Amino acid sequence: MTRLAQIIVAGGKGLRAGGNIPKQYSNIGKKPLIFRTLQALSDLKNSPRADIAEIQTRLIIVHAEHDRSFVDASIGEYLVTKVIGGKTRTESVRAGLECLKDNPPDYVMIHDAARPFISLSCLTDLIDKMKTCQAAVPILPIVDAVKDFRHQTLGDDIERIHLRRVQTPQTFHFDAIYQAYQSLAKESDYTDDIAVARIAGLAIGTVEGDETNFKITYPSDFDKAEAVLKMNTIQYPPSYYTATGSGYDVHRYTEGNGIWLCGIKIPANYTLLGHSDADAGLHALTDALLGALADGDIGDHFPPTDKKWKNAASDKFLAFAVDRLRKRGGILQHVDITLICEKPKIKPHRAAMRTRISKILGLPLSRISVKATTTEKLGFTGREEGLAAQAIATVVLPE
């Protein structure tokens, strides 16, 4: 089993953010910023990919000595190893790595405490990159004009096509980055860890960064963070639009030992007939997301004639649609599923369904609706020959 350590660097004072305490312990949505960061990093266990969800993780917070009480008050239910950092970021990271040497992980992520919105897709991409590289970093292009300002006045243009913005978490093979830090002079101080990897000659890969993975630096960034939490996003430019997609799916009942519906298995003496697990709820929702993207339907991407999808879990299809949405720069706002059937009874399972869908989508429960109805004994559902599902998804997309 893959072992991963996640080091959260939280030793800074955060003076530019204002406030009476270090910014990483200030609240966003009534929870400390660093708690939100822990939430985001811990989202790996909710991955629909078994190889990612089963990764054994360990959380380390590197903090200033006098901030121990803030840390204890901020971590909630998360189990963390607390390490005293140094005077510089480089010293703090070295301390975090040092605490792992006696029981080293396979990989280590090093992340800024003030970036609370790292996405599951980016975390997954970084881990996947470890198969071919010793180090990996999320990057984003620079879209604004860049000027030389070294002499306190606007100077020459800097060619931005070759420049990239660099984010965290930065991810490494543990042994490689540990040795790289061991080789540094004691007084060394670098702004990030990929610089240390570069000096050590490690093979560095890149993954696509995320605009919502911004670093909270100034007081206005807290307002921006509150907006992200409310899923209103960071004030959309006029070039964004709202799209709604719908999905519909039907499956016939047949003999079996249980039925998959909205991501959970319901005990029964029957099942649904289909090429995959025949989860009509997730199929309809997948089609709704693809419809909002104008990106075909589930059959286009996962044809029933392809043997590799035989008995496949439908959460893979839904996760695929969510990934397509994110790659388009879209944000999912709300989903609504209606199950049409005489059996099984949905109400006893509705909470579990909503929770499972929440984990797959990375969407709060308050934005996930699952409901059921019957056709008053009319039609194929009324005759208990099968069931149907309808879904609607609302997203915001860039033009």
Q: What is the CATH number of the domain that holds 327?
A: 3.30.1330.50
Whether 134 is in a domain gets the answer: yes
Task: Give the pLDDT of residue 37.
Answer: 94
Same domain for 244 and 208:
no
Whole-number Cα distances in Å, 68 to 10, 28, 71, 142, 175:
11, 20, 5, 37, 28
**Domain assignment of residue 191, given as a range:** 3-229
Compute, in degrees rounded to 10, the torsion defined by CA atoms 320, 323, 325, 330. 160
Same domain for 213 and 284:
no
Q: What is the CATH number of the domain that holds 111?
A: 3.90.550.10
Same domain for 184 and 62:
yes
**Distance from C-alpha of 69 to C-alpha of 37, rounded to nearest angstrom:** 18
- Beta bridge partners, 3, equal 56
Same domain for 186 and 141:
yes
Cα 219–222–227 angle (5° rounding)? 140
Structure tokens that stand for 15 in this block: 């003076």
**Distance from C-alpha of 48 to C-alpha of 118, rounded to nearest angstrom:** 17
Element holding 372 (H helix, E strand): strand 368-373
Same domain for 111 and 8:
yes
Same domain for 179 and 124:
yes
Whether 235 is in a domain gets the answer: no
384 torsion bin: left (phi>0), alpha (psi -120 to 50), beta (else): left
Same domain for 394 and 326:
yes
Same domain for 175 and 42:
yes
Tell which of 179, 206, 229 closes a domain: 229
Tell which of 165, 196, 229 closes a domain: 229
Task: Give the pLDDT of residue 233.
Answer: 44
Whether 341 is in a domain gets the answer: yes
Other CB atoms within 10 Å distance of the CB of residue 348: 9
Same domain for 286 and 362:
yes
Whether 101 is in a domain gets the answer: yes
Whether 21 is in a domain gets the answer: yes
Same domain for 74 and 109:
yes
SS3 at position 114 = coil
Tell which of 176, 203, 229 closes a domain: 229
Whether 192 is in a domain gets the answer: yes
Task: Give the pLDDT of residue 197.
Answer: 96
Same domain for 375 and 246:
yes
* Domain count along the chain: 2
Kindly list the averaged pLDDT for each block of 10 residues, start to end, along the chain of length 399.
Answer: 96 65 86 93 86 93 93 91 94 96 96 92 94 94 76 74 89 97 90 95 92 86 80 52 94 92 91 88 95 91 81 88 88 94 91 87 85 94 93 90
Residue 342 and residue 348 in contact, taking contact as beta carbons nearer than 8 Å = no
Same domain for 78 and 132:
yes
Task: Give the pLDDT of residue 234.
Answer: 44
Whether 210 is in a domain gets the answer: yes
Whether 234 is in a domain gets the answer: no
Residue 60 and residue 9 in contact, taking contact as beta carbons nearer than 8 Å = no
Task: Give the pLDDT of residue 239.
Answer: 64
